[in-house]
Amino acid sequence: MKSSRAAYLVLLLITITLGLIGRRLSFVPLATGDALWAVAVFWGLHLLTPKARTFRLALVALLISYAVEFSQLWQASWLVQLRSTLPGKLLLGQGFLYTDLIAYTLGITGVVFVKQYLFTRSKGSSTGQTVC
């Protein structure tokens, strides 16, 4: 798969779609949606900076995910009101759970491996090229 903005946009849209579908299916663990949320942050960052190194973007995506999770401890009335809307709920979450931090970490770890597989395979992994 070619490393480009178009590819990252497609991957972001697929991730968002899977996350939204997963929230509607009772047999899909909630942690799956949390992991996909962090993955969407990763693909979104890659969309904005397609030539950035994978490890750096993974770290930034993880820090953003953690920051959003910890922000849920702050219960300012305007923020609670924002989180009660659908966009606010989807982007900011509603309540702090330490298990979400684990899901974010697993999601980012998984997407790094997926990206390495997708993008090094098409570039010719036999030459030893990587995108990290």
Give pLDDT, residue 111.
97
Give the side-chain half-sphere CA count within 13 A for 51: 0
Domain boundaries, the chain: 5-63+98-123
Helix (H, G, I), strand (E, B) or coil at 27: coil
Tens-digit pLDDT profile for residues 38-77: 999 999 999 999 999 999 999 999 999 999 999 999 999 9
Residue 34 pLDDT > 90, yes or no?
yes
Cα–Cα distance for residue pair 110/50, rounded to 1 Å: 19
pLDDT band with cut points at 50, 70 and 90 for residue 128 = very low
